[in-house]
A and B are shown apart, each in its own frame.
Chain A
Amino acid sequence: MVHHPRDRGSRGLSRRDFLRRSLAAGVALPTASAILAACGGNGSGGGDGGGDEDLTPRFGTADKPATLQLYDDNPAIASNLEPEEGPLVLYNWEQYIWKRVLRDFSKKYGIETKVETFYNMEQAIQKFQSGEIEFDIFFPTIDYLPKLVAAKMLQPLNHDYLPNLKNVWPELQDPYYDKGSQYSLPYTVYTTGIAWRKDIVPVEPEELSASSNPYEIFWNADYAGEVGIYDAYREALSLGMYRDLLDQTNLNESDPAVIAKAKDRLIELIDLVDVKTTIDGAYSGIPEGKFGLHQAWSGDIQAGPFYATDPKKDAPLFRYYWPARDGFGGTIDNDMYAIPKTAKNPVLAHLFLNFMMDEFNALKNWSWLGYQVPFNVVNPDTIFEESYPGLEGWFVWDYEAPPGKHWDNLKPTIVTEEDVKIGKRAIGLEVDVDSIWQDAYSEFKAGA
């Protein structure tokens, strides 16, 4: 699984999270999962499938874009249909959409909107597959999208209902993982970079930019006890790869030797800097001063002022750097919306997607979420100062900022369309290759 910013699992809880989660705690062993009719695929990418239906997941890459399969027995809905009466049900990560925006949608169409939540993709897929839960909008990760399409669990989108898609960056209107956006629309976009507190790690982004290898900062013994990385196997091992290979890193590596080298790099961190593995270390650990340096999703650190003990004092100390902008290589990812084949309200679901492709609604959601939307209107040079009409002062980077000021040091957390072109992405791996990654990470986590 490509780890997700909202995947809080059980490996680290923020103060805000833990009370709520302690109620819902408990590891549920998966009891049963239906055997897919589409089980014949071997998980590898590409292929036209010969004469029969192609049920092999197609994993697209920047070099080899994928047009996901369309099936005769899984058509898109017809155009110009009247919306259903709802309620519209979203199946989403917890706290990953602003309720106020949902309320706006409900008001506009006079229907009820509900949100069902999941903790991680596996849990979501299991419930999706078993039909345990019914919903109209899903939020899959990039590695699962081709699998869900091959299993005919998603329905193709009818773009007649989606004129607002034009507001999205052209790069993501026609993304390489789903050419023509046949099954998905982009939701949020974020980079995986380096976040730190200037008071603990006295370095400026310019210094990393001028260095020969910005990723080496994690291996700097001066910061022992202050360093954290994400407790997510793809992200963590990718950091080990960037350390040696920089821009030559392949996030979907299948060579066991390269993966083992990355693992050894991570193991070095244990003795060198006493590295911690967390999920909340960037979004609450850095703001609270528990960490001086942490691998970070841009959205986590963008919302940093909200989690700071004293935002006026702490927020100016936050720093974020994404090495890909200086040619060192770096990870980028975006989340997406999709409509399940079994949706009870497919027309309403299309209307909702179009509603969320509206500039104001999307930016309003971002202002609360801290995770950016990939819209043309977002000008990285001016969004801090000019905000968006009607949303002035709403954005999380303005949280507790002095009147008329913004936490400008968080500007590097803004993602641009160019970033999507230069960033590397972790896509779905074959089951056996994935096991190599997971075994390597388990070994690092064993602290041997």
Chain B
Amino acid sequence: MALATGGVVGQRRWYYPALAAPGIIWLILLFVLPFYAIAAVAFGTRDQIFALPIPAWNPLEWQFETFTSTASEFLRSGGIQAQFIRTLVYVVVSVSICFVVGYPVAYYIARYGGRLKVLLLTLMIAPFWMSYLMRMLAWVNLLSVKPEDPGLVNRLLMTLPFVDHPIAWNSGTVSHLTVILGLVYGYIPFFILPLYAALDRIDKSQLEAARDMGASPASTFWRVTLPLSKQGILAGAVIIMLPMFGDYYTPNLMTASPGNTMVGNAIDFALQGGQGQQPKGASLTLLLSAFIGALMIYYLVSVARAAKEARR
């Protein structure tokens, strides 16, 4: 009997970890290996005729000149430093707007959606069945400045008494707003969905308990709902921040102005626009990954802490 039990335990020891195998294989093939390829290019050399990258697959042969010179560019004002700061501002502002706009939407659907929950979620996601590029190009036309044929947004604005000419959405200071709105529009559903899931999971009896203890509706929200949805906010923020940091086509499509380029544009140029710049592009990719990695570590620590608290 004891032997039989031991056999079952032995089987179980392998059974559940084995279920993770597809995920692990997936990660190795589509994350670890490509990431290693990027490192091999960043730390590799170039051939002297075509200036094409020669990846250094053996870490003992890695050379760090390109990487360190690229990293030092972040310390010099102008150039990549300006692009990095701009990217940071765009992402922080965009995520904040996603929070301000997305939280009430997720809250409403989770708390008051009732039987219409699925329908509301579907309607919210419906525009996103279209390709990202298509939606951005639609915005380009909606925001068009052409004096004789302004876009819909400008036509609507010009019905207001104090707007007498189309707003140049792709020029000057306003262009920053345009890119940020493009980012918000492009990614907001991916913020709302995990947040909705977190809000939907909140046990209503906890809210009722707060009210029973004399908390006002506002106080209940601030002291119960909001803290309990923190993980959803963080998850949503992480999900949208990652692609935003690497984005380069939103500024390309929305304004095409050097004043709006992000780090992703610098990587795009190094990898595709120039000759022999792939090691620099790969170095930029590694540096950006390191920065995002640091943010991810904060997220993971925060999740672990929340899980620990929940177990108490």
Interface residues of A, Cβ cutoff 8 Å to B = 1, 9-13, 15, 18-19, 22, 25, 27, 29-33, 35-36, 38-43, 57, 120, 122, 125-126, 129, 144, 147, 150-151, 224-225, 228, 231-233, 270, 274-278, 281, 289-290, 431, 434-435, 438, 441-448
20 further contact pairs, Cβ within 8 A, besides A33-B54, A438-B274: A10-B268, A11-B272, A13-B253, A18-B133, A19-B134, A29-B37, A30-B53, A33-B47, A39-B48, A39-B49, A43-B49, A43-B51, A225-B170, A276-B256, A431-B46, A431-B276, A434-B276, A435-B276, A438-B275, A448-B78
Contact of B133 among A13, A35, A448 (CB under 8 A): A13
Interface string of B272-286 (1 = CB under 8 A from A): 111111100010000
- Cβ A445 vs Cβ B49 within 8 A: no
B265 CB–A CB distance under 8 Å: yes
Which segment, of B79-87, B117-125, B156-164, faces chain A? Answer: B79-87
**Across-interface contacts of B175 in A (CB, < 8 A):** 274
Size of interface on B: residues with Cβ below 8 Å to A? 61
Q: Are B131 and A446 in contact (CB under 8 A)?
A: no
Which of A13, A29, A36, A290 interacts with B41 by CB under 8 Å? A29
Q: Which residues of B contact A150 (CB under 8 A)?
A: 49
Q: Is B185 an interface residue (CB 8 A)?
A: no
Q: Is the CB of A270 within 8 A of B257?
A: yes
12 A-B contacts, Cβ less than 8 Å apart? Answer: A15-B137, A27-B268, A31-B55, A36-B49, A38-B49, A122-B275, A274-B175, A435-B276, A443-B78, A446-B83, A447-B258, A448-B81
Q: Contact between B78 and A33 (Cβ–Cβ < 8 Å)? A: no
Most buried by A among B171, B249, B275: B275
In this complex, the member of A18, A29, A39 whose beta carbon has the largest number of chain B beta carbons within 10 angstroms is A29
Q: Which of A289, A438, A446, A447 contacts B146 (CB 8 A)?
A: A289
A10 touches B272 (CB 8 A): yes
How many CB-defined contacts (below 8 Å) exist between A and B? 169
Q: Give the complex CA separation of A27 and B285 in angstroms.
A: 12
Q: A29-B282, A231-B273 are in contact. Are A147 and B258 (CB under 8 A)?
A: no
Contacts of B48 in A (CB 8 A): 39-43, 431
Please give me the 4 A-B residue pairs with the lowest Cβ-Cβ distance, nearest first.
A448-B78, A447-B258, A448-B82, A447-B259
Residue of B nearest to A123 (CB): B272
Question: Which of these, A1, A57, A281, contacts B49 with CB under 8 Å?
Answer: A57
B: which residues have CB within 8 A of A?
A: 34, 37-38, 41, 46-55, 77-83, 86, 131, 133-134, 137, 144-146, 148-149, 168, 170-172, 175, 248-249, 252-253, 255-261, 265-266, 268-278, 282
- Inter-chain contacts of B51 with A (CB < 8 A): 43, 431, 434
Chain A nearest CB from B79 CB (Å) reads 5
- Do A228 and B41 form a contact, CB below 8 Å, given A39-B47, A150-B49? no
List residues of chain B with CB within 8 A of the CB of A277: 256-258
Residues of B within 8 A of A32 (CB): 55
How far does the Cβ of A233 sit from chain B's closest Cβ, in whole Å? 6
Closest to B277 in A: A438
Measured between beta carbons, the chain A residues less than 8 angstroms from B133 are: 13, 18, 22, 25
Task: Verify B137–A120 contact, CB threshold 8 A.
Answer: no
Question: In the bound complex, how far is the Cα of B256 from the Cα of A277, in angstroms?
Answer: 6
**What is the predominant secondary structure among interface residues of chain A facing chain B?**
loop
Residue in A36, A232, A276 whose Cβ sees the most chain B Cβ within 10 Å? A276
Task: Give the Cβ gap from B43 to chain A, nearest Cβ, in Å.
Answer: 14
Please name all residues of chain B whose beta carbon is closer than 8 Å to the beta carbon of A448 when the two chains form the complex: 77-79, 81-83
By a CB distance below 8 angstroms, the chain B residues around A13 are: 133, 253
B248 to chain A, nearest CB (A): 8
Chain A residues closer than 8 Å to B255, beta-carbon distance: 276
Does the CB pair A233–B41 fall under 8 Å? no
B78: chain A residues within 8 A (beta carbon): 443, 446, 448
Question: Which listed residue, A1, A276, A443, touches B274 by the CB 8 Å rule?
Answer: A1
Residue of B nearest to A288 (CB): B146
- Smallest beta-carbon distance B173→chain A, Å: 10
B46-A442 in contact (CB<8A):
no
Q: Is the CB of B256 within 8 A of A12?
A: yes
When the two chains form their complex, are residues A29 and B271 in contact, meaning their CB atoms are under 8 A apart? yes
Of the listed residues A11, A281, A448, the one surrounded by the most CB atoms of chain B closer than 10 A to its CB is: A448
Say whether A442 contacts B266, CB under 8 Å: yes
Contact status A446-B49, CB under 8 Å: no
Task: Give the most central of B134, B168, B258, B276: most A CB within 10 Å.
Answer: B258
Complex-state Cα separation, A395 to B123, whole angstroms: 48
In the complex, A41 Cα to B46 Cα: how many Å?
13
Say how far B22's CB is from chain A's closest CB, in angstroms.
23
Q: Could you say which of B49, B145, B256 contacts A278, with CB atoms under 8 Å apart?
A: B256
Which residues of the partner chain B approach A12 to less than 8 Å between Cβ atoms?
A: 252-253, 256
Query: Which of chain A's residues have a CB closer than 8 A to the CB of B269?
Result: 11, 438, 441-442, 445
- Give A277 to B255 CA distance when docked, in angstroms: 9
CB contacts (< 8 Å) of B265 on chain A: these are 445
Are B278's CB and A29's CB within 8 A? yes
Q: Is the CB of A120 within 8 A of B272?
A: yes
Contacts of A31 in B (CB 8 A): 37, 55
In this complex, the member of A33, A36, A57 whose beta carbon has the largest number of chain B beta carbons within 10 angstroms is A33
